[in-house]
Structure 1
Amino acid sequence: MEFKTAQRKRAKLRLAIAGTSGCGKSYSALVIASGMTTWNKIAVIDSENGSAELYAHLGTYSVLTIGTPYTPEKYIEAIKIAEQQGFEVIIIDSLSHAWTGEGGILDQQGKAADSKYKGNSWAAWRECTPKHNALVDAILKSSCHIIATMRSKTEYTQVTENGKSVVKKLGMAPIQREGMEYEFTVFFDISAEHIAIASKDRTGLFDGQYFKPHAETGQKLLAWLNCSTSQSTQPVIPVIPQVASEVIPDVFHEDNLDTSNAYRIISTEAKTKGNGQVFAKIVLQQGDTHILAWSAQAEILDIPAGSLITAKMTAKQGTNVIEEYALVKAGEAA
């Protein structure tokens, strides 16, 4: 055995896009793929009842529709066919069916436990886990770029926007085996407003950004995968501004208001963990810089967009976390 200097080499994309119904997963996958290759080199493995063909006006991509049962073997076979036919980007829309659909892993595990193992679910998993692992291996070892969409669990909550209470549809954990996100290079979560955020990004291209996916997104990814060093595709490093370490006062007076260290709230969104805890995803602005941050203090959701706050912010595992905050001035969004 011998250690050698690490070098980044050309690679194939492994991108996951998760979101609720109607958020634009299929469309986003297609436009990202169009930035990576020509339309006739894009193949879609469609388990969404033909929904992929709704965007045929975008370009001349190809579709292979699979129906029940949604066995991992069907997905693996479809991936191999796309490779053999010379496609460059494979879109799996959606990968969730291979997990929770009829004939998917959960369905197979439940039936095996009932019929073969007398209710012993652990024994059934010993039979079904290798099938799931085989699908993961097919994705990771494919000679093509792969973009996989996943459905997200849906929950509704009440949030405050511009001083008014509105009901929002929230996307939660993707409908897939726990930990599946670790298999991908980049993982986008897309909101009901079609805004993407990278919950995982090994490229560093999208850290701290919120954006609508388009062809340029694919171009940036392709340049990174090809080890391009052009300035236009350099990773965007999230800026974590320095903030005062002293205790933040509870009351601010208009006549001596200092907003030099304040952040303007652009938007807030409620998120719910599996244990039911509600926390806040906040987009802030300071000067020309937009900052994505998170807070366990859910009451920040009640502050209207456009307001100014001060915040004690720290970086934890590449994520901006607001530990303390105080309202400087309430206001309306610009």
Structure 2
Amino acid sequence: MTLPAPSRVGRPQAAASNEYDNGPFTFRPATKDGHNASVAIQGPSGSGKTWTGLCVASGLAEGQRFAVIDTERGAAALYVNDLSASFDTLPMHRYDPRDLQKALAAAAQRRYPVVMVDSLSHFWSGTDGTLDQVENAKSKYGGNKFAGWKDGTPIQNAMIEALMSYPGHVVVTMRSYTDWVLEKGQPVNKGTRVEQRRGIEFEFGVAAEMDKSNQLRFIKSRCPAFRGREFDRPDGARDIAKPYLDWLRDGAKPIDPAVWINAANSPEATPDSLLALYREVEAASALATPLLHPDTGKPISLGDRIKERGTALKAASAA
């Protein structure tokens, strides 16, 4: 039996996206350029978090119309005549975290300077929220609910990335409840706990909690003006939005993400220009910026859109 002559098989080429994903580690001078406000307000029902959130959003919008993604059966709209600012609402009736990504992309396309989510809790524990996604996924893993987090965690994380990368200011409200724990057979009050994934408040630049007497206490703040502060019935625009904006803008230059989006979709774009654009957006921590795909209308991140176009143009030039 004669064996065929050996043939040389070349290594499979690396996926085109690797040139995007495996970029150099480059240190740059630190700046506040392009940073936006992100505020989380948590509290029990009746604590005033919706009203306070609206006031913060109106202050951040500085006279411009802003957006409210509403899961609270129109609660925000009830204040439309009490607020000296205009806003549009998007009622949500199912709370798949991926739907929040779609809503954020739609808001970004409309170029709202501020988006408020009232409330973020529904995308955790509401119908089709993250907890439902985990429950539904467990059947894939023999009924193992813990394994269901293999599906639930990426969905939750992608939602938070889109929220934190919104090309404007972000305000969210979250429900909280008293956390009782049995110790030696006796219920012990462990304080309040937010109705969202544990620790989510620390994703935001500023996080505060309110009680039923409308007292606000900051529990986390990157802005020095709020550390250790408390407000009784706060004026969100004056007490929170203004000092936060003043701090963010101190020595910073604004960045308009629309410039990046236009460059990503430009007919003059080349594989090299798109790779350079990707590096610029990456350096600004803006790859997860949500937008609607210009062809399909479906949500896509800015980073994925740049990568998609760059890969397609490179393949076309090699054909």
What TM-score comes out, normalization by structure 2 length? 0.63
Query: Which residue is equivalent to 1:132?
Result: 156
Query: Cα distance 1:219–1:70, how it changes in 2: closer, same or farther (>3 A)?
Result: same
Query: Which residue is equivalent to 2:105?
Result: 80
2:195 to 175, 179, 188: 175
Q: Which amino acid aligns with 1:98?
A: F
Q: What CA distance in whole angstroms lies between the structure 2 residues aligned with 1:18 and 1:175?
A: 9
Indicate the RMSD between aligned Cα atoms, in angstroms: 2.2
Mapping 1:262-277, distance limit 5 Å: none
Are the counterparts in 2 of residues 71 and 98 from structure 1 also a CA contact under 8 Å? Answer: yes
1:218 and 2:244 correspond = no
2:218 to 187, 194, 198: 198
Structure 2 portions without partners, runs of 5+: 1-24, 181-188, 253-319
1:141-162 CA deviation, whole Å, 9 max, x = no partner? 1101000110001369xxxxxx
For the residue of structure 2 that corresponds to 1:150, the secondary structure is: strand
Query: Which residue is equivalent to 1:42?
Result: 66
Q: Which amino acid aligns with 2:234?
A: P
1:70 and 2:95 correspond = yes
Q: Which amino acid aligns with 1:63?
A: T
Q: Which amino acid aligns with 1:227?
A: D
2:114 to 77, 81, 89: 89
Query: Cα distance 1:40–1:65, how it changes in 2: closer, same or farther (>3 A)?
Result: farther
Q: CA deviation at 1:29?
A: 0.7
Query: Which residue is equivalent to 2:57?
Result: 33
Query: Which residue is equivalent to 1:227?
Result: 250
Q: What CA distance in whole angstroms lies between the structure 1 residues aligned with 2:47 and 2:251?
A: 31
Moved beyond 4 Å, runs of 4+: 1-5
Query: Which residue is equivalent to 1:15?
Result: 39
Q: What CA distance in whole angstroms lies between the structure 1 residues aligned with 2:108 and 2:190?
A: 36
For the residue of structure 2 that corresponds to 1:86, the secondary structure is: coil
1:60 to 86, 98, 105: 86
Query: Cα distance 1:45–1:195, how it changes in 2: closer, same or farther (>3 A)?
Result: same
Q: What CA distance in whole angstroms lies between the structure 2 residues aligned with 1:87 and 1:74?
A: 18
Query: Cα distance 1:22–1:177, how it changes in 2: closer, same or farther (>3 A)?
Result: same
Q: What CA distance in whole angstroms lies between the structure 2 residues aligned with 1:88 and 1:171?
A: 35
Q: What CA distance in whole angstroms lies between the structure 2 residues aligned with 1:105 and 1:208?
A: 32
Q: Which amino acid aligns with 1:182?
A: F
For the residue of structure 1 that corresponds to 2:60, the secondary structure is: coil
Are the counterparts in 2 of residues 17 and 189 from structure 1 also a CA contact under 8 Å? Answer: yes
1:110-150 CA deviation, whole Å, 9 max, x = no partner? 1221x322221232111111111110110111101000110
Count the aligned residue pairs: 215
Q: What CA distance in whole angstroms lies between the structure 2 residues aligned with 1:104 and 1:136?
A: 13
Q: What CA distance in whole angstroms lies between the structure 2 residues aligned with 1:6 and 1:35?
A: 27
Query: Which residue is equivalent to 1:110?
Result: 135
Fraction of identical pairs, as percent: 36
Q: Which amino acid aligns with 1:110?
A: E
Are the counterparts in 2 of residues 90 and 144 from structure 1 also a CA contact under 8 Å? Answer: yes
Are the counterparts in 2 of residues 33 and 42 from structure 1 also a CA contact under 8 Å? Answer: yes
Mapping 1:221-260, distance limit 5 Å: 221-227=244-250
Q: What CA distance in whole angstroms lies between the structure 2 residues aligned with 1:173 and 1:223?
A: 31
What TM-score comes out, normalization by structure 1 length? 0.60
Looking at secondary structure, tell me which structure has more helix per residue.
2
Q: What CA distance in whole angstroms lies between the structure 1 residues aligned with 2:108 and 2:29?
A: 32
Q: Which amino acid aligns with 1:222?
A: L
Query: Cα distance 1:40–1:8, how it changes in 2: closer, same or farther (>3 A)?
Result: closer
Are the counterparts in 2 of residues 88 and 145 from structure 1 also a CA contact under 8 Å? Answer: yes
Query: Cα distance 1:29–1:228, how it changes in 2: closer, same or farther (>3 A)?
Result: farther
For the residue of structure 2 that corresponds to 1:91, the secondary structure is: strand
